[in-house]
Amino acid sequence: MSEATALPVPDRTIDTSGTLCPLPIVETAKAVRALGAGGVLCVIATDPGIALDMPMWCRATRNEHIATLRDGKAWRSYVRKRKP
């Protein structure tokens, strides 16, 4: 995603800072389950592996990985829940 492209406003944000693989993904899965179809989740993480994990998790679960961006010492990952 180019920086010029605006990121969607998330319907929910979760902060997984301090936890490591695979716990940010465990929390992501729980939060996405609770979202409506097409809803956007923002995941804040300090595990550097999130930049690898989130796109793979989205590919496996057929949710949309919008972007994972560095934000200081953390990362912000945006995921859109798949439509049925």
Partner 1 sequence: MSRVAKAIGMISGGLDSTLALALVKRQGILVKAVNFYTGLCITETQRRKGGRPDGTIPRNEALRAAADLEVDVEYVDLSESGYLDMIVAPRYGYGANANPCVDCRIFMMSRAREIMEREGADFVFTGEVLGQRPKSQRRDTLRTVERESGLDGRLLRPLSAKLLPPTLPEKEGIVDRERLGDISGRSRRRQMELARELGISDWPQPAGGCCYLTDESFARKFFDVLDAREASGEPRRIAREDVVLLSTGRHFRLSPRAKLIVGRSEMENVLLEGYAPGRARLEAKGLNGPVAIVEGEPTWEERMLAAGIVARFGKGKDLALVPVEWREEGEVETYEVAPERDEARIESLRV
Active site members? 21
Rounded to whole angstroms, how far apart are CA atoms 82 and 84? 6
Report if residue 4 touches partner 1, rule: CB under 8 A. Answer: no
Edge-to-edge strands of the sheet including 40-45? 12-15, 40-45, 74-80, 64-71
Assess whether the previous peptide bond of 22 is cis (omega < 30° from 0): yes
Part of the chain binding partner 1 (CB under 8 A), chosen from 3-11, 35-43, 44-52, 71-79? 44-52
Report if residue 64 touches partner 1, rule: CB under 8 A. Answer: no
Out of 12, 20, 71, 83, name the contact with partner 1 by CB under 8 A. Answer: 20
Rounded to whole angstroms, how far apart are CA atoms 22 and 18? 12
Sites of contact with partner 1 (CB under 8 A): 20-23, 25-26, 29, 47-49, 52-53, 55-57, 59-62
